[in-house]
Structure 1
């Protein structure tokens, strides 16, 4: 890189370096002293140079992951292990727990009280529809890029986390000094689908950026419009609720999630239309404007039509009704904008493409007559749903000239960011950055399905990218045990802990899995207490095993 390029990048909003942010670096130096003291309390004595860098990972899994991580952390604290953790990193549902913890200044020093507060909230009343709607309106009007993630944040995530957290990562940093360093993770959708570049994106209290590519910007600037590394248009810093939605933007993959979203949109409109009528009455509707009832009828039938097609049902009666209403709106004065091809329900992909075009056409027709708030919001939600737009933000690398960056990342004005669990349901690659020098990874796995999928996939992906990772050989056990160690020469040691296992669940592992599935609604107080207890047992039953592994790493460091 030329001297001119170096100077330009130093003055830039964007940092392109394979190095730690300076504040993270300083934090790590301070935290290592805390870790050393915690090791001494456990009877493990070593110099600062011999203290291992330990990362704790929480996988995805909706509220199961959120509660499971909380139960695990409570027992880690009781066992004297929490102060050993340098990095706490999460995917999807685990980030919901992290966000709740980091609301509290120095939460790890008063975890019992913080835990009680979180449980009380999770067991309590939901966020009111009015408050959630007001938050959605705020997202819609206060920033340039609107997507399903905004809808998901306000109308779905709030039903699980039972709050609207408008704090920011920058604010979190200003009040934390005694806790592990938090790393939230998502992926770049196009990088995943088209393999344009490494997809892993991380958020810390300092920066957001591509973990393995080495391109970052201040957390407060993420989402702002940046060209050639310079700020063009500042956007509000993303808040924690939006971050929770960005990280946990897919409780499940494939068809079921599509239906889930359309059903949520249907429920939303059911609540919203009486609200629309109140708004119009207060504003005094223009007598020449078409009736809001017509908009409501068209939109409700359009949502039903999408659900029909997803279920393979014939929507022709709905289609006929929609067209009749739109013709009535036009009054014969203008031609309707519609595709001419016919729906083929026997070809699933063709049917999906048809409904995408059909929905866009209906929205474009409606927009001719219903231009103002809140009709514009309804059409935006429908357009995002039919085009499946999640996590769309300005691309902070747009039109940069740094040769170190993959070319496709520089060209698009926006990028779409989604739940990292859709690629790998555990945030291994946030802590496998060489500059973080993590020597022990404790992986708490709250996934559905194969309890070893995350660690096996992490090993495969690491091998592809020449990232040091131990060989993963899974013993033929079903159900799994509660503690697995993978280690090797010049690689981090990985401890893998499946949530439900033969030790903490006995012969009822499958019953526990069925009781806590991912797309389930918010848990009752009893379910929360039971799940925290079973997750906590994975720590209390393995205190000596954890200590043994940590001792071995310290001894290895002493030997050089």
Structure 2
């Protein structure tokens, strides 16, 4: 039996639940140290898709034949991936962990499984499983075949606090808990004459319990969790939906505390989008932008007639990171595209790290690409050349702390990146800028500018390396989402609390500076390292910093004459040092934010879904209990921790990008990011041309390289622009030779001002880099138009 309907393009189906019976029978040959005796052993059971509680058997004492014969029950949904974790302990020492896919037990079956823990010594655990489908309990699910959102109920608990002399002497607390709920627990002081209500949201068919405990407080007001004088446990399956139930919690022989319970079903409408297609807002943008691109191409290519819809190519800019060097260079390249009339041919601009600073500045103007770029470039130049000695003045630091305090009160987890964000805002804008990511919608709502796309990496902090586990997180003015899971939320909801796809607590959208810091937080860590070297002698502090750092320009040693940020920002002594040290040591270095996937379960066939497999990055993907939906928070880092590129959003097959203008800003190894991108795409099965380079290219890179895969026209045509000073040494404009004594651009080496951590350029340095990148674009006009013409030809031949 199934029922189908559509809510926000998401399919709702109804499926029966099942009762899983797990009987832990016995273990054999579980001998620890003493060969003459067994171990004091017990087994724990954890099935996170059915309950947050970990169950356990009794402890069997000193026996080589460990017999339990204990039975446990789980109400499960077979449409999700149910992985039962069994752990065998000897006292408190973990001996073995077993992961069992419950799907191996079919409905109506009784299965006896012997888990071989050690083949040589025949250590084994015997377990019996019974699966019984429950057709009387149906559950509505919403899924994209990778993630599953389940039915959610809301329990309302109203506490009537009656007058009692005991309470006037001792302010005892009432603790309420529903394990596995979004709220988990509430606590309240028992003050006379008040009625207070609390909510618990939980998966309906988990059927958890409400635990109510009256607890004493010590004389200093601290709660003593071991001193309770009244408690109540109520299975929520006894509370029918829509009905009110009154429960008395006895306090003494003649006094009780009344709890009024009311349960209701939550809306089936999700506050997030589960799906791999583009959102409706982006589809509308593409329709409008196609008209702009078509008109521009007709003019530039001098076409006699308009291109048909299916003939209009999707051209994207793929900008890399590189601090202020990337920001300044991107301004120059976009200026060059504007002068050539090609900027109106661009549909997407992807950025990461420093390139996002230029993008976020430009998109404050809703018609920026239709205007001369001189004004935003002059504004950027003003802030790049100003003295930044006061960025961490005591006055500014106090204002930063006030803002971080307010963010904490709003429910936002603060970290070093908040300090980095407001400092970066001061550097780039010189003032508090209230602009937000969702405000950029005004710049694309008529298709008047390319759609900006930003990227970050979600990682597992501390216990798993970034190179062992990473997931792409995409940001646009419309949505923020995980590409691998096909889960997206409105950009204005990023940072708010979600549970099972429902918005639980709306938190005000952060200013854009906080996202800029997120997208470029590798700079924050490197700055932290520099400051630490200048000011700190604490060995443990130094070890903490060093464990966090991966400098993408490790070979660089700053010259004494550099305008290096570390020496221009910091005064390492006195009050300022103490305040900043407290801010940094009290908070993690990575960007943590509420996980909008929280509570969602993995679909039973998620690993076979082609969309999920495309973005598979590690073996951890085979362990659903450890994937991102199981986390309370997500940890985001700069994409440069993996690849210094903004490619993943642009390579989504739904966007159908035909031509990529790849802008690289690494002076020492200008092909590293494009080669890494090609390798990544090859491993993931994403169409991308081969990057073939000769030895001469590596020694003396040119301004532009064209990469085409003639055998696979699903692969984009790639034009790669390294950051090089090639013919610009002889020509100041395309075809115009420069004077004998005119200045060139030192991109690398100790004399170069364009190192990653330099946040202050001279006016000449800024202008030189801007003119170089502008020139490199305009000097390769013919190659760009050739790539676009080839894409049009391919699209005409394919007919779609």
TM-score normalised to structure 1 length: 0.76
2:765 is aligned with 1:549: no
Deviation at 1:42, TM superposition (A): 0.6
Partner of 1:504: 728
Take 1:113 and 1:207, find their aligned partners in 2: how far apart are those partners? 29
Deviation at 1:116, TM superposition (A): 2.6
2:598 is aligned with 1:398: yes
Deviation at 1:65, TM superposition (A): 0.2
Aligned with 1:158: secondary structure?
A: helix
2:441 is aligned with 1:169: no
Deviation at 1:148, TM superposition (A): 1.4
**Do the aligned residues in 1 keep the contact of 2:407 with 2:414 (CA within 8 Å)?**
no
> Which of 457, 465, 474 is the equivalent residue of 1:187?
457
2:407 is aligned with 1:142: yes
**Do the aligned residues in 2 keep the contact of 1:136 with 1:150 (CA within 8 Å)?**
no
**Do the aligned residues in 2 keep the contact of 1:18 with 1:214 (CA within 8 Å)?**
yes
Further displaced range: 153-162 or 514-523: 153-162
Partner of 2:586: 383
> Which of 701, 704, 718 is the equivalent residue of 1:480?
701
Partner of 2:756: 518
TM-superposition CA deviations, 1:56-97 (whole Å, max 9, x none): 011100000000000110110010010011001101000010
Distance 1:231 1:376, change over 3 A: farther
Take 1:540 and 1:222, find their aligned partners in 2: how far apart are those partners? 38
The alignment yields a C-alpha RMSD, in angstroms, of: 3.0
**Do the aligned residues in 2 keep the contact of 1:60 with 1:426 (CA within 8 Å)?**
yes
**Do the aligned residues in 1 keep the contact of 2:476 with 2:491 (CA within 8 Å)?**
yes
Partner of 1:457: 676
Aligned with 1:559: secondary structure?
A: helix
**Do the aligned residues in 2 keep the contact of 1:259 with 1:307 (CA within 8 Å)?**
no
Further displaced range: 392-401 or 519-528: 519-528
Partner of 1:285: none
2:385 is aligned with 1:116: no
Partner of 2:530: 260
Take 1:509 and 1:402, find their aligned partners in 2: how far apart are those partners? 56
**Do the aligned residues in 2 keep the contact of 1:500 with 1:512 (CA within 8 Å)?**
yes
Aligned with 1:250: secondary structure?
A: helix
**Do the aligned residues in 2 keep the contact of 1:19 with 1:435 (CA within 8 Å)?**
yes
**Do the aligned residues in 2 keep the contact of 1:5 with 1:402 (CA within 8 Å)?**
no
**Do the aligned residues in 1 keep the contact of 2:744 with 2:768 (CA within 8 Å)?**
no
Take 1:307 and 1:426, find their aligned partners in 2: how far apart are those partners? 33
Partner of 2:231: none
Take 1:156 and 1:2, find their aligned partners in 2: how far apart are those partners? 44
**Do the aligned residues in 1 keep the contact of 2:417 with 2:524 (CA within 8 Å)?**
no
Deviation at 1:230, TM superposition (A): 1.5
> Which of 287, 295, 301 is the equivalent residue of 1:43?
301
Deviation at 1:234, TM superposition (A): 2.0
Take 2:427 and 2:141, find their aligned partners in 1: how far apart are those partners? 48
Matches within 5 A, 1:260-409: 260=530, 262=532, 303-306=536-539, 309=542, 379-384=582-587, 388-403=588-603, 404=606, 407=624, 408-409=627-628
TM-superposition CA deviations, 1:297-340 (whole Å, max 9, x none): xxxxxx4325995699xxxxxxxxxxxxxxxxxxxxxxxxxxxx
Take 2:531 and 2:717, find their aligned partners in 1: how far apart are those partners? 39
Partner of 2:472: 200
Distance 1:527 1:75, change over 3 A: same
Take 2:421 and 2:466, find their aligned partners in 1: how far apart are those partners? 27
Distance 1:509 1:464, change over 3 A: farther
Structure 1: which 5+ residue stretches go unaligned? 267-302, 313-347, 350-373
Bigger helix fraction: 1
Aligned with 1:457: secondary structure?
A: helix
Deviation at 1:44, TM superposition (A): 4.9
**Do the aligned residues in 1 keep the contact of 2:384 with 2:427 (CA within 8 Å)?**
no
**Do the aligned residues in 2 keep the contact of 1:442 with 1:494 (CA within 8 Å)?**
yes
Take 1:259 and 1:198, find their aligned partners in 2: how far apart are those partners? 24
> Which of 327, 333, 336 is the equivalent residue of 1:72?
333
Further displaced range: 398-407 or 455-464: 398-407
Take 1:376 and 1:398, find their aligned partners in 2: how far apart are those partners? 34
Take 1:104 and 1:211, find their aligned partners in 2: how far apart are those partners? 28
**Do the aligned residues in 2 keep the contact of 1:259 with 1:310 (CA within 8 Å)?**
no
**Do the aligned residues in 2 keep the contact of 1:61 with 1:251 (CA within 8 Å)?**
no
Take 1:390 and 1:2, find their aligned partners in 2: how far apart are those partners? 37
**Do the aligned residues in 2 keep the contact of 1:90 with 1:183 (CA within 8 Å)?**
yes
> Which of 265, 271, 282 is the equivalent residue of 1:24?
282
Take 2:281 and 2:292, find their aligned partners in 1: how far apart are those partners? 17
Take 1:61 and 1:124, find their aligned partners in 2: how far apart are those partners? 20
Aligned with 2:439: secondary structure?
A: helix
Structure 2: which 5+ residue stretches go unaligned? 1-10, 14-139, 144-148, 151-267, 548-576, 607-611, 613-620, 732-742
Distance 1:153 1:306, change over 3 A: farther
**Do the aligned residues in 1 keep the contact of 2:745 with 2:768 (CA within 8 Å)?**
no
Distance 1:539 1:139, change over 3 A: same
Deviation at 1:195, TM superposition (A): 6.5
Distance 1:139 1:552, change over 3 A: same
Deviation at 1:425, TM superposition (A): 0.7
Take 1:513 and 1:376, find their aligned partners in 2: how far apart are those partners? 36
TM-superposition CA deviations, 1:151-193 (whole Å, max 9, x none): 1112356335544432111122134441110011111122983
Take 2:544 and 2:653, find their aligned partners in 1: how far apart are those partners? 47
Take 1:238 and 1:200, find their aligned partners in 2: how far apart are those partners? 21
**Do the aligned residues in 1 keep the contact of 2:316 with 2:347 (CA within 8 Å)?**
yes
> Which of 130, 154, 162 is the equivalent residue of 2:422?
154
Partner of 2:766: 528
Report how many aligned residue pairs link the two structures.
459
Partner of 2:324: 63
2:653 is aligned with 1:434: yes
> Which of 357, 362, 366 is the equivalent residue of 1:105?
366
Take 2:702 and 2:279, find their aligned partners in 1: how far apart are those partners? 38
Take 1:231 and 1:446, find their aligned partners in 2: how far apart are those partners? 39
Further displaced range: 116-125 or 222-231: 116-125
Query: Which structure would you say has the larger RCO, counting Cα contacts within 8 Å and 6 or more residues apart?
Result: 1
Bigger strand fraction: 2
**Do the aligned residues in 2 keep the contact of 1:169 with 1:239 (CA within 8 Å)?**
yes
Distance 1:309 1:396, change over 3 A: closer
TM-superposition CA deviations, 1:124-150 (whole Å, max 9, x none): 454754346414421332243011111
**Do the aligned residues in 2 keep the contact of 1:140 with 1:377 (CA within 8 Å)?**
no
Take 2:792 and 2:397, find their aligned partners in 1: how far apart are those partners? 49
> Which of 418, 440, 447 is the equivalent residue of 2:666?
447
